Amino acid sequence: MLKRCISAEWMKLRHSRIWMILVILPVISVLVGSANFSVNRDILTKEWYSLWSQVGLFYGEFFLPVLIAVLCAYMWRLEHLNKNWNMIMTAPVSVPCIFLAKLTVAALLLLFIQTFLFILYLIGGKLAGLTSGLPGELTGWFFRGWMASLTIASFQLALSMRIKSFAAPVGIGLCAAFAGLGMYVAGLGMFFPHSLLTIGMGVLSQTGLSHWENIL
pLDDT over threshold 90, residue 30: yes
Quickly state the pLDDT bin for 211 (edges 50, 70, 90).
Answer: very low
* Nearest partner of 103 among 111, 93, 92, 91, judged by Cα: 111
Contact 70, 21 (CB under 8 A): yes
Spell out the alpha helix ranges (H) of 128-166.
138-162
| pLDDT at residue 107 in the model | 97
Please name the residues in contact with 30: beta carbons below 8 A apart, sequence gap of 6 or more: 55, 59, 117, 120, 121, 123, 124
Q: Tens of pLDDT along 98-130?
A: 899 999 999 999 999 999 999 999 999 999 888
Q: How far is CA 175 from CA 76, 172, 185, in A?
A: 20, 5, 16
Residue 81 — φ and ψ, nearest 5°? -85, 140
User: 173: domain range?
Assistant: 2-13+20-215
The 3-state secondary structure of 34-55, one letter per residue: HHHHHHCCCCCCCCHHHHHHHH
Is pTM beyond 0.75? Reply is yes
Closest C-alpha to 65, from 208, 204, 193: 193
Cβ–Cβ < 8 Å for 59, 26: yes
Considering its fold, how many domains does the chain have in total? 1
Hey, what amino acid is at 9? E
Exposed / middle / buried, residue 34 (Cβ in 10 Å: 0-12, 13-18, 19+): buried
H/E element, 80: helix 77-80
Greatest C-alpha distance within the chain: 63
Percent of the chain residues past pLDDT 70, beyond the cut: 93
Q: What angle in degrees, to the nearest 10, is found between the helix axes of 138-162 and 167-185?
A: 140
Confidence of residue 207 (pLDDT cuts 50, 70, 90): low
- pLDDT exceeds cutoff 50 at 215: no
Closest by alpha carbon to 196, among 143, 125, 134, 139?
143
